[in-house]
Chains A and B, each alone.
Chain A
Amino acid sequence: MTQQLASTPPPRPRRVLPPGEREQQVLDRIERARRRRPKLREERITMSHGAGGKATHTLIEAIFLDAFRNPLLEPLEDAARLQVGGATVALTTDSFVVSPLFFPGGNIGDLAVNGTVNDLAVAGATPMYLSAGFILEEGFPVADLTRIAESMRDAAAAAGVAVVTGDTKVVEKGKADGCYINTAGVGAVAAGVDLGVANARPGDKILVSGPIGDHGVTIMLARGELDIEADVESDTASLADLVAGLLGAVPGVRALRDATRGGVATILNEVAKAADVGVLISENAIPVRDQVRGAAELLGIDPLYVACEGRLVAVVDGDQAAQALAALRAHPLGAQAAIIGEVTAEPVGLVTIKTTFGGTRIVDLLVGDPLPRIC
């Protein structure tokens, strides 16, 4: 007994760390917590699960990736790359539930074509064939459906793709909001093209192809709930041509993404996480229209999180950034392209921004939709 007591180690003196080190310990602990596999805690789906932020990522990883896990799905890129009979094919799908259906600069039809075309284009594929599935609510005006179909026809022609198969379902009044569209698409990937956010490495530059946030702000204003009017339209457009020009001119393109739901900030976070690098951007360098900035300021939301439908983010070998910028600007859709930042070795997994004001802060993923602030 006495022996046992004697062998009890003396209490360890508690080392009091200076505040800087204590803070770093907490930060390290948080990083470890963030790297753990996300757990879906909610018992029911909430609107946050559809917003493209952390809640969406958690849902996808916890439910869908868990159920369907395979090496082609796992990278969670915009399109899957498949080997079919010796050729490389990209396959993607996207559903469109936008409200209102018609908005300045486009409608759900343009979006449904361009969205899928762009997911193929940023995978380095030449978009070729699309499918279109329609879910229509009882009572939906045929004239509206005609307009939507005509827009899809025009958008497909502009992007050089054909809608080759489809499906139509009608649900009872109240079971849908007018018209939902799903499109899927396939495209051919040229030999040697291998784009992916995991390819990013320190020294690379980050480019955007034009002013950000136009689409998201247009939709928010078009809902008419804000009583704000601004001269801004959706940027919905096919990026296929722009991407072809860029890939043709610049061999050192590492990754492309179209900045849809979740905006540019979400993509940069995906780069930082997938490639285990830091991303540092300059607020001064990011092109944002004054109308979009103004509306975003009023609402207390950040344009970096607002959706675009015709803008891409490119990660390019640092030595070829000027070339890439020139290639983007040579195309009308890229006339206002800009280099907005770079890939750094540290801090791993984080996106940071040098603000116009001259400070530094993190640009994290949002949980759900950006929520307007009270005051």
Chain B
Amino acid sequence: MRFVDEFRDADKAHALSARIAALCEPGRQYKLMEVCGGHTHTIYKHGLEDYLPESITLVHGPGCPVCVIPMGRVDDAIHLASQPDVIMTSFGDMMRVPGSNGAFFDANARGTTIKMVYSPLDSLKIAKANPGKRVVFMAIGFETTAPSTAMTVLRARAQGIENFSVFCNHVTIIPAIKAILDSPDLRLDGFIGPGHVSTVIGCRPYEFIARSYGKPVVVAGFEPLDILQSIYMLMLQLREGRSEVENQYSRVVPWDGNPVALKAIGETMELRPYFEWRGLGFISHSALKMREAYADFDAELLFEVPGVRVADPKACQCGEVLKGVLKPWECKVFGTACTPETPIGTCMVSPEGACAAYYNYGRLNRQRVPEAISIELSRP
């Protein structure tokens, strides 16, 4: 299939792998963080670690939009969905994220109507088809999904749709990266920058990482060869003693981002003074809320939101995993009390969460898997 197979070519991967190995200095250990959950997913889904020398460790970062939603916000959302005549709409991955009393799926079993949508715009269709109902979109995600929420609000206003609102949980990536850089228990050598976020915000916002913290950043695409090439570019920078922001994903990411998308976000949303991140705690100016001019679409003003605060379960070490201090399997409850069937922490829920990706794809002693498969390709 075009535009996919080219980026999964095993021969090119072998060649890159050899060049990466050649850049490793003997005796040195490298820790590279892939910020984005989409990258984590690709790394495990394609078995990319098989191509890396043992001296390179990939640390899975905080860029999984589902993983960073605190339990209290899930409870708040279920509270909203439980109000009379409310239909809540949500992205699919949110459906299984546990609050303190179950996830959206469980809430539906108790009587709420929380529908899965593929685009926020689908919420408007539902609002139009159900004039007697109040449709609330559970908006989550980084700058990647914020523009589509913004466009939906703009369209709702243009079309005069009054029974639609947004429960805004959009977060921004830069403060999270900064929090990680400032975290004392962490030593990273470089960052694989989030590709999809960068299609919106561009590459400039990362320059402080290279300049002030001296860490190289390579904005990467989501196919396995994209990531392998980005690792090569990071290793080359480290070898040559450079720390710059480079763009591996130039086929999609413009250096200055997408001005139309940024304008739509700026028009409808503004920064919150602070927001709670699961595992990372409160981070100032790290999330978005609806602007006052769009208060009529702000579910937090239209409804009473209890503002539930739930402490993360004690046993859960999502925070350490999100910061890359622990590998998923080093968490005390990983795979026993916390599994994709009964997740305790959100890292186990979304397929992009580091724990779920490791549990679903990587929970494997590679020495026990036969080196090669002994079937001949028989595809007709």
Contacts and interface: CB of A to CB of B under 8 A. Distances in A.
Given A293-B1, A359-B48, A346 B144 contact: no
Given A41-B342, A357-B224, A46 B108 contact: yes
A119 to B, nearest CB: 26
A342 B375 contact: yes
A161 interface: no
Contacts of B374: 342
Nearest to A24: B365
A42 B48 contact: no
B361 to A, nearest CB: 4
A280 B369 contact: yes
A118 interface: no
Contacts of B99: none
B65 A357 contact: no
A23 B4 contact: no
Contacts of B145: 374-375
Interface in A311-350: 321, 325, 329, 335-342, 344, 346-347, 350
Contacts of B359: 30, 364
A29 B359 CA distance: 13
B301 interface: no
Contacts of A29: 335-336
| Residue of B341, B351, B364, B372 ringed by the most chain A CB atoms within 10 A | B341
Contacts of A215: none
A358 B14 contact: yes
B199 to A, nearest CB: 10
A44 interface: yes
Contact of A375 (B4, B38, B330): B38
A282 B373 contact: yes
Contacts of B376: 339
A360 interface: yes
Interface in B323-380: 329-330, 334-336, 339-342, 350-352, 359-366, 368-370, 372-380
A293 to B, nearest CB: 5
A361 B364 contact: yes
Given A33-B336, A285-B379, A352-B364, A48 B105 contact: yes
A357 B362 contact: no
B120 to A, nearest CB: 11
Provide the main secondary structure of the chain A interface: mixed
A44 B108 CA distance: 10
Contacts of A281: 373
Contacts of A282: 373, 375, 377
Interface size class of A (residues with CB under 8 A): 35 or more
A27 interface: yes
Interface string A196-229: 0000000001000000000000000000011000
B364 A347 contact: yes
A360 B364 contact: yes
Interface in B46-104: 46-51, 65-66, 91-93, 95-96
B251 interface: no
Contacts of A335: 380
B46 A371 contact: no
Contacts, number: 195
Contacts of B360: 362, 364
Nearest to A360: B47
Contacts of B95: 371
A290 interface: yes
A329 B380 CA distance: 9
Contacts of B38: 373, 375
Contact of B46 (A290, A337, A361): A361
Contacts of A360: 47, 50, 364, 366, 369
A355 interface: yes
A58 interface: yes
A356 B91 contact: no
B141 interface: yes
Contacts of A16: none
A367 B336 contact: no
Contacts of A321: 375
B140 to A, nearest CB: 7
A359 B371 CA distance: 11
Given A356-B5, A358-B10, A375-B65, A346 B369 contact: yes
Contacts of A133: none
B30 interface: no
B13 interface: yes
Nearest to B197: A375
Contacts of A67: none
Contacts of B47: 354-355, 357-361
| Residue of B66, B105, B106 ringed by the most chain A CB atoms within 10 A | B105
B148 to A, nearest CB: 10
A45 interface: yes
Given A46-B106, A47-B108, A54-B341, A342 B10 contact: no
A287 interface: yes
Contact of B1 (A47, A280, A294): A294
Nearest to B66: A374
A55 interface: yes
B47 to A, nearest CB: 2
Contacts of A300: 351
Given A280-B370, A373-B352, A226 B118 contact: yes
A284 interface: yes
Q: Closest 8 interchain pairs by CB?
A: A359-B47, A30-B335, A358-B10, A371-B92, A44-B109, A361-B361, A357-B46, A372-B92
28 contacts: A23-B365, A27-B363, A29-B335, A45-B109, A225-B117, A278-B369, A280-B370, A280-B373, A284-B377, A287-B380, A336-B379, A339-B378, A341-B375, A346-B368, A347-B368, A356-B10, A357-B10, A358-B14, A358-B50, A360-B47, A361-B362, A371-B92, A371-B93, A371-B95, A373-B350, A374-B145, A375-B38, A375-B145
Given A280-B369, A344-B370, A372-B91, 12 more contacts: A23-B329, A26-B334, A45-B109, A356-B5, A359-B47, A361-B45, A361-B46, A361-B47, A362-B360, A364-B360, A364-B361, A372-B116
Interface of B: 1, 4-5, 8-10, 13-14, 38, 41, 44-51, 65-66, 91-93, 95-96, 105-106, 108-110, 116-118, 122, 140-141, 144-145, 196, 224-225, 329-330, 334-336, 339-342, 350-352, 359-366, 368-370, 372-380
